[in-house]
Amino acid sequence: MIIRRRRTAGTCVLFAALTLGLQPVGASAADNPDDQPATAPKVELVLDVSGSMRTRDIDGGTRMAAAKQAFNEVLDATPKEVELGIRTLGADYRGEDRKVGCKDTAQLYPVGPLDRTEAKTAVATLSPTGWTPIGPALLKAADDLHGGDGSRRIVLISDGEDTCQPLDPCEVARDIAAKGINLTIDTLGLVPDAKTRDQLSCIAEATGGTYTSVTHTDQLTDRVGQLVDRAADPVVNPVAVEGAAQCANAPEIKPGLYTDRERFGEHRFYRVAVDPGQELRASVSVAADRAVNRDYGVLLRAVTAHGREIVRGAEAGDGRTDVISTGLRYPKPERSDGEATAETVCLQVSNSYAAPASVKTTPGLPVELTVDVVDAPSAASDVAAFGLGRGWWLLAALVLTGFVAGVLWGWISRWRIAVWRTN
């Protein structure tokens, strides 16, 4: 059993997979079996243009000026393979009607091949204006990035808390993540207070993204540029799957990386075929993307189709932890009669999370499941894995060589001393 704990959901399961010796591979678009060109990665920059962006506290200038400068530099450096768009919130309505102000979000530049001059011209027209409808802007941005199977990323830059409750942007982010569309939201806070920081952190955590606090223009430029570049990096897109409440009804999955949502205290099953002489390796990560009660755990079990436990991994946490992970390995022995009959192994993922009464339990917690099936190690490999195996021959040879060399060196030394005394 192999157990690891990490902080961020974006890289969590890949590290667990490496710990288990896995090579996770997406089971759909990532395989690209027909050598078709991959769908271009998509990024939408979502900028808060509310009235508070007039504040002068970033390097002696306004927050809006810092954002414009950062955008211009990022647009110049955007990789050509990235399709980029820009959306604003609070840029147009100057009035006091909350209902109207909370609809104030618009796409400034459509997601697609980047015309740098046109995009910069659009950014230059922006002027801090109105409300801060973060939730509605995220919903629209998710629609802007719809289509294709490439990576999708929203980069939200804001200096204040959402002013359009009860549409909680944290809940919006969870709903977006629950759709399984491989969309990550990264957030950047321009000198935010504690409430704003908590809200932006929650938005990012819900989708496996990152939160960064920014106090200088160059920090903003560097961080936005890093996030846009990251979208261009080759990634393994997890495949959305829905586990069943029982093994008999569970979906059959192949080696790859999968995402699901699991409710508090729920059990979910997935089936994997394992031939004799193969080894099943699996890891699971469950993210606490909202406040949870103390003393919880995550369990991953491999069981037979009839419910008999084969092997288990377990991990328990205490208090607020972003990601909790566990893994297991099951080597299926060769049959003595030589017949290769696949065994259906059910992976059971369960948790003991509970939430305070004020916390919504839907959608469920984010789950990432990595599965691999490889040739099981031979008996000799097992010996080598836990001891020296055939290395004992080398060790014995080295010991013998050292012994003989020592005897010879001692004999030669004594002979030289004897000759010296004689002379």
The predicted pLDDT at position 297 comes to 85
Pairing label, strands 365-375, 183-190: unpaired
Q: Give me the residue label for tokens 């059910």.
A: 346
The predicted pLDDT at position 122 comes to 94
Contact yes or no for 18/60 (Cβ under 8 A): no
Q: How far is CA 202 from the centre of its chain?
A: 15
CA distance linking residue 318 with residue 157, whole number of Å: 32
- What global pTM score does this model have? 0.65
Contact yes or no for 372/283 (Cβ under 8 A): no
- Domains of the chain, earliest start first: 38-232 (3.40.50.410), 238-380 (2.60.120.380)
Question: CA of 111: how far to CAs of 64, 107, 146, 231, 345, in Å?
Answer: 22, 9, 10, 14, 43
Torsion of CA 191, 194, 200, 202, to 10 degrees: 160
The predicted pLDDT at position 29 comes to 37
The predicted pLDDT at position 87 comes to 96
Consecutive 10-residue averages of pLDDT for the chain (423 residues): 38 37 39 54 94 91 94 93 94 85 93 95 92 93 88 92 84 88 89 84 87 90 91 76 94 92 93 91 86 86 92 70 78 73 91 87 88 74 46 70 79 75 69
Contact yes or no for 22/283 (Cβ under 8 A): yes
The predicted pLDDT at position 22 comes to 38
Structure tokens of 350? 């369960």
Question: Whose CA is closest to 25, among 375, 370, 331?
Answer: 370
CA distance linking residue 362 with residue 393, whole number of Å: 60
Question: Whose CA is closest to 347, among 286, 283, 256, 420?
Answer: 283
* Count of beta carbons in the 10 Å neighbourhood of residue 357: 4
